[in-house]
Chains A and B, each alone.
Chain A
């Protein structure tokens, strides 16, 4: 018989799954809207030069990274809801990949911002506020990345305990 906590956990995971589906839908719609927006910006000559190209690229890479994280989270949720065993090697790899994506976000952002300064599209006087924003992006993303990486190690430990426990009668 399943415990009340387990039933509650499954219920909350179902809501989480619905929320992730919504996020993925918004992400895909956003990505599809991004392409015509870029096209119109090229036509109106708003996008020109290396800075503009990097603006488009950094936006695109960030969107793809966010979508990849949502897809991986959905797969983790699937192992909870349908396979009823989240402590598998696949989930550990997914958490590690998510962490690497979180670590990559501030790098993409930094390269983009530095290119803006180098190409003269951002005034040097504004670098103070830029520095503050970069630090906040760095700290938040690297912090989340570390949390996810720790979670991956916790899952590996749990998987080993489960393996032992499965053969305990």
Chain B
């Protein structure tokens, strides 16, 4: 599964959810959906805006985790 580590990057850059939402022109609700891993998909334009504002790479925000072992156990 894909994990969104937005909260980690936001903490590193010391930026609040509201401030980031304003900078990337997204609603608080939508950014919260992304932050809490509830999103089903992310637009390249949103990812680009987040990377631009947080000065990071997509890989810093998105992480692939193999959950087949977790499901088996």
Contact = CB atoms under 8 A, between A and B. Distances in A.
A and B pair up = yes
B62 interface: no
Contacts of B34: 169
Nearest to A166: B40
Interface of B: 26, 30-31, 33-34, 38-43, 46
Contacts of B42: 168-169
Contact of B31 (A164, A167, A168, A169): A169
Nearest to B46: A169
Interface residues of A, number: 4
| Of A164, A167, A168, A169, most B-chain CB atoms within 10 Å | A169
Interface string A153-169: 00000000000100111
Nearest to B41: A168
Interface string A74-97: 000000000000000000000000
A-B complex: 4 closest residue pairs judged by Cβ atoms: A167-B40, A168-B41, A169-B34, A169-B39
A164 B43 CA distance: 13
A4 B34 CA distance: 30
